[in-house]
Amino acid sequence: MSVVKRPEGKANWYLPGILTGMMITIKHMIFNLTHRKQMITIQYPEERYPYSDRFKGNHILTVKKDGSLRCTACMLCATYCPAECISITAAEHDDPSVEKYPISYEIDILRCVFCGLCEEACPVDAIRMGPEHQTAAIAGENFIYDINKLAYRSGLKGGVQSKVDDEERHSRGL
């Protein structure tokens, strides 16, 4: 049986050991109190983490200059969606220069996997993945986002316009 001989004398005092261990904690506490901007904790509801431009958040339907939807109801996003969460109802437009437009554009946000394939499939830059993080909501609320929520919600300030112009697109034959 091996017996460990503990050193006698000063090392028997436990209080210095505790204080030495607490020094690390106290040092971090004082550093955090005096250097608030270098603190790594993000105080979430007050301050937000800055996302990159490529962040895939809640969807945005872009609008034209007159405020109507840019979407032409070509169903490419609904066909390409791996989760099958997009449902579009198309209709004929009164204006003869516009072929089709969506009466209803609904995304079931509980099925969506935020992969961004709808954004890649769209030929007219009508749907984008926005900069907001995914939402949490109480069960029983409306989880099927319609056009009002996707294109004209209050965070977008009346809709996001695409930089690609329609006339330029037609002249290039796209």
Partner 1 sequence: MTWLTARYEDVVSRLEQNHHFPWIMSVGCCSHEIQNSSLATYDWQRLGVDDVSTDPTQSNLLILGGWINTERAQEIKYVYDQMRKPTAVIAIGACAISGSPYKALIDAPSVHGEVIKAEDIVPVDIYVAGCPPRPESILSSILELQKKLKPGPSHREVLSEALRN
Residues that bind partner 1 (CB under 8 A): 40-46, 48-49, 82-85, 108-115, 133-139, 143
CB of 116 to partner 1, least distance (A): 11
Name the token pair of 130: 């926005």
SS3 labels along 34-70: HCHHHCCCCCCCCCCCCCCCCCCCCEEECECCCCCEC
Which token pair is 169? 């697109």
Instruction: Output the smallest distance, CB 110 to partner 1, in A.
Output: 5
Query: What is the nearest approach in angstroms of partner 1 to the Cβ of residue 52?
Result: 12
Cβ-based nearer residue to partner 1, 143 or 152: 143
Nearer to partner 1, 88 or 124 (CB): 88
Which residue's CB is nearer to partner 1, number 90 or number 115?
115
**In this complex, which beta carbon is closest to partner 1, that of residue 22 or of residue 137?**
137
Point out which residues pair with 89 in neighbouring strands.
104
CB 127 within 8 A of CB 60: yes
| Residues facing 90 on adjacent strands | 102
**Most distant pair of Cα atoms in the chain: their distance:** 97
Residues composing the chain? 174
**What is the closest distance, in whole angstroms, from the C-beta atom of residue 132 to partner 1 in the complex?**
10
Q: Minimum distance between the CB of residue 62 and partner 1, rounded to whole angstroms? A: 21
Nearer to partner 1, 13 or 49 (CB): 49
CA distance 73 to 64: 15
